Amino acid sequence: MKFNQTFIIAIGIWAALMAAHFFAVLFFFEDPVFPIVIDTLVFYILFGVLSIGCFNFIRYVNLPEKPALSTLFNLLAAVVVCTLVWYLFGNTILKIIYSNDQGYLDFNKAFQYARGLEGLVLFTIMVTLFLVMRYQERIGLAQVEEANLKTLVSESRIQALNSQINPHFLFNSLNSISAQTLLNPEKAREMLSGLSDYLRYTIESKDQALVPFQKELENALRYMEIEGIRFGKRLVFNFEVSQGSKSFKVPRMLLQPLMENIIKHAVENSTQQIGAQLKVSAVEQGFTMLLENDLPEGSSENQGSGIGLKNIEERLALSFGQNFSFNADELDGKFKVFLNIRAAS
């Protein structure tokens, strides 16, 4: 609860107590109504002013993390001082107003002990209310700070994982462009243009944890086009992507490490053609992706043991918690990566 809301509640309590005081005095003492109205207004306006002072004192004073004995003693002293000031000032003002009204003076004298007790009760209620709300506000702020800190830690981990993306692709691409410059300038220009678009996306999206799958797909295609120029007919890549999946938000750089995995563990280790296929669909229940590629004949290298796959799984966990499944394994002569992201319930 915000402290401003506490102040509004306090005003409501003040008005209710003032009305209760008026009707109680009217019931027990058969005095004219007008003096009782003045009596009520004087004492409760003073009570309101002093309560505002208590409100600001408790709001801005440096309270300990938990209420200590010294804190309670200081607040008790504040209650007593406020009650004395309230009682003395109120009586002084009313004695001046009704100096010639012996009936009211007799009523005021008869009511003095009850009024003193009333003041102690009133200020105890107000100070306790303000103190409780102050600690509630502190707890609320601590919870917000904790949530912000957890978010910051998660974002920092995601950025750290993103920075692990293998830079070998850049070096290999530059070497290929350099080699093609004299042999095939047109192909070199194509690779350079594709690499430029790829790097532009990588830089422009670096602050985004999640991006539409459409953008990830476009960037993965740039990557495969560049590698296609490098490897020629040794690499064949096909994809089937449903329209609904293109707007689904996925971790940035989800596909690129998977594509790099195909190049590093399959295409580079084979003299034969390596086919790769991506199938993606999205329904109300979530997002499904299957990426598979041929395995080179006679290869003993484990395609599923790289840091890229672990990196992806960690980033998926940070983004989706337990609402996903991610598997990568060799099956029927192919290496298959399956991802399912379940819609949040």
Q: Which of 59, 53, 81 is nearest to 130 (CA)?
A: 59
What does DSSP assign to residue 295?
A: P
Q: Are 47 and 178 in the same domain?
A: no
The domain boundary residue, chosen from 159, 176, 205: 159
Neighbouring CB atoms inside 10 A of 343's CB total: 12
pLDDT of residue 162: 55
Read off the tokens for 233: 């007919």
The domain boundary residue, chosen from 111, 141, 159: 159
Confirm if 39 and 25 have CB atoms less than 8 A apart: yes
Q: Are 178 and 291 in the same domain?
A: yes
Q: Are 131 and 201 in the same domain?
A: no
Q: Which residues pair with 335 in a beta bridge?
A: 293, 330
Q: How far apart are CA 255 and CA 312, in angstroms?
A: 9
Q: Are 95 and 178 in the same domain?
A: no
Structural domains counted in the chain: 2
For residue 299, what is the domain's CATH number?
3.30.565.10
Confirm if 214 and 239 have CB atoms less than 8 A apart: no
Question: What percent of the chain is predicted at pLDDT more than 90?
Answer: 12
pLDDT of residue 282: 83
Q: Are 125 and 184 in the same domain?
A: no
**Global confidence as pTM:** 0.52
Q: Are 182 and 86 in the same domain?
A: no
Read off the tokens for 67: 């209420």
pLDDT, one tens digit per residue, over 33-85 is 777 788 888 888 888 888 888 777 777 766 666 666 777 777 788 888 888 98
pLDDT, one tens digit per residue, over 225-254 is 888 888 888 999 999 999 989 989 998 888
> Does residue 151 surpass a pLDDT of 60?
no
The domain boundary residue, chosen from 127, 159, 191: 159
pLDDT, one tens digit per residue, over 269-288 is 888 899 999 999 987 778 99
Rounded to 10 deg, the angle between the 69-97 and 33-60 helix axes is: 150
Q: Are 31 and 114 in the same domain?
A: yes
Q: Are 90 and 175 in the same domain?
A: no
> Does residue 296 surpass a pLDDT of 90?
no
Q: Are 202 and 240 in the same domain?
A: yes
Q: Are 205 and 149 in the same domain?
A: no
Q: Are 155 and 170 in the same domain?
A: no
> Does residue 197 surpass a pLDDT of 80?
yes
Q: Are 34 and 19 in the same domain?
A: yes
Read off the tokens for 80: 């007593």
Q: With the CA atoms of 36, 39, 42 and 44 taken in that order, what torsion angle do they form, in degrees rounded to the nearest 10?
A: -80
Range of the domain at 237: 165-342
